[in-house]
Amino acid sequence: MNFNDSRLVELLKISRSKGLRYGINTVATFLTRRYFRIPPEIFPDFEMVLKKERPACLSATYSGPLRLNWILPGIAPANGGLVNIFRTIQQLEAWGHENRVYVLNSLPRGSIPAKEHIRNWYFPVNAEVEVLSENIKDSDALIATSWPTAYAARGVGNTAQKFYFVQDLEFMFHAPGSLHEFARHTYQFGFRGIAAGDWIASVLRQDFNMDCSVFGFSYDREVYASAGNRLLPSGKKRVLFYARPETERRGFELGVLALSLVAQKMPDVEFVLVGFPCQSLNLPFPAIFPGVLALSELGALYRSCDVGLVLSHTNVSLLPLELMACGCAVVSNKGPNNEWLLSDQTAQLAKADPKSLAEAILELLETDELRIKKIEAGFAFVESTDWPREIRAIESALLTTKESKLKLPHV
């Protein structure tokens, strides 16, 4: 193949002109389909879609703690969804419930047991952790935590009831096509939903007729606090951006364009981009890239910032609450996916276009009185939230069937 005259050169030019992500996807697709003739790995990657359904066939336990089996797609560090799952497991264990964790693929490599990884990355738990197999133990509740795990849970029968711990609408992560439909279909499996927030619950109820319970968000008071050295740059304002270049729903390109407008108007502002491994990006403004930090380091970083830009086009992140707890004013995009948690009183909400977001950031940077007002309202709001209370709502959902069977008819 002559690379000087090949289609590959043209594709690489596309990569330079339209951006790295677009270019890599285009080049990879072209090379795979045209040169290497490698078909997609339909089996075994998606064989679970064809897995036979096994309805829950056990009776709920009539006394004692619940036996809870969780199915996870995997265990890896710095995963927001796993933070909520392992926080919930830890609290449920403290209340006496027995938890087991089954992983779809493989456990983290190395000599360290999976439990130690969970302790180091998230929270210490007592749950058994193993790869999912046909030998899954009996349970009072089987809990799917993502769309691939929902297919796995559909094929398990030795449980009293099946639940779906839904932290985001995963079909929205994919363009219309196979993965979009595979994910969307899982909400029609008849599982009881445990939804992270009112927006997800309303969509599941209205669009899929799914029975849902709801829990809300809070923050870790041991990690995030407004007290402490703020370490503000001398004479400068600082803006933090939750930048996830590989995660479409976090609006990376939208955020960069908004910040470029802020930089034009206020060139002395310092920008900090977090949420991805430490690397320099070709941006239209200078920026600091601290990389993926340990939880113990995040509080100090957030306290050093005046404004935090957190975008979400599906369910809202935990990050706005964590920033509020550290005394940082929050800017986010409008929409029911964010506004079930955020409001105009606690955050600066704007339309999802660069100009509107830039104006929202600039208004906070230029008006100290407004910024302080948002910071105070945000802090008061997060202080009113409570993780144990929200996990009690999860526990209540898991206990519903068990308690209803304990009720005896009047004689």
| Residue environment code for 61-75, b if the CB has 16+ CB neighbours within 10 A, otherwise e | eeeeebbbbbbbbeb
pLDDT value of residue 409: 36
136 in helix, strand or coil? Answer: coil
Q: Which fold has domain 238-383?
A: Rossmann fold (3.40.50)
As given in the structure block, the two tokens for residue 395 are 């526990």
In the chain, where are the structural domains located? 7-39, 47-215, 238-383
Q: Which of 36-40, 118-122, 252-256 has the lowest average pLDDT? A: 36-40
Convert the pLDDT of each residue in 294-308 to its tens digit: 888 899 999 999 999
Residue listed under structure tokens 């706005």: 320
Q: Give me the architecture of the 47-215 domain, per CATH.
A: 3-Layer(aba) Sandwich (3.40)
pTM of the model: 0.88
Q: CB neighbours (10 Å) of residue 9? A: 12
Most trustworthy range by pLDDT among 256-265, 291-300, 392-401: 256-265
CA-based nearest residue to 143, from 398, 391, 402: 398
Q: Which of 228-232, 279-283, 378-382, 388-392 has the lowest average pLDDT? A: 228-232
Do the beta carbons of residue 170 and residue 203 sit within 8 Å?
A: no
Strand partners, 71: 102, 144
Instruction: Please give the sequence-ordered ranges of beta strands (E in DSSP) within 173-293, or none if there are none.
Output: 192-196, 212-215, 238-242, 270-274
7 vs 35: CA distance, rounded Å: 11
Q: Whole-number mean pLDDT of the chain? A: 89
Strand partners, 331: 309, 348
Q: Are both 47-215 and 238-383 of the same fold? A: yes
Convert the pLDDT of each residue in 360-392 to its tens digit: 999 999 999 999 999 999 999 999 999 999 999
217 vs 196: CA distance, rounded Å: 8
Task: Pinpoint the alpha helices (H) of 19-129.
Answer: 20-30, 42-45, 80-94, 114-121
As given in the structure block, the two tokens for residue 318 are 């935990």
Convert the pLDDT of each residue in 108-151 to its tens digit: 988 899 999 999 999 999 999 999 999 999 999 999 999 999 99
At 105, the pLDDT band (50, 70, 90 cuts) reads confident
- Check pLDDT > 80 for residue 228: no
CA-based nearest residue to 257, from 352, 364, 337: 352
- Check pLDDT > 50 for residue 408: no
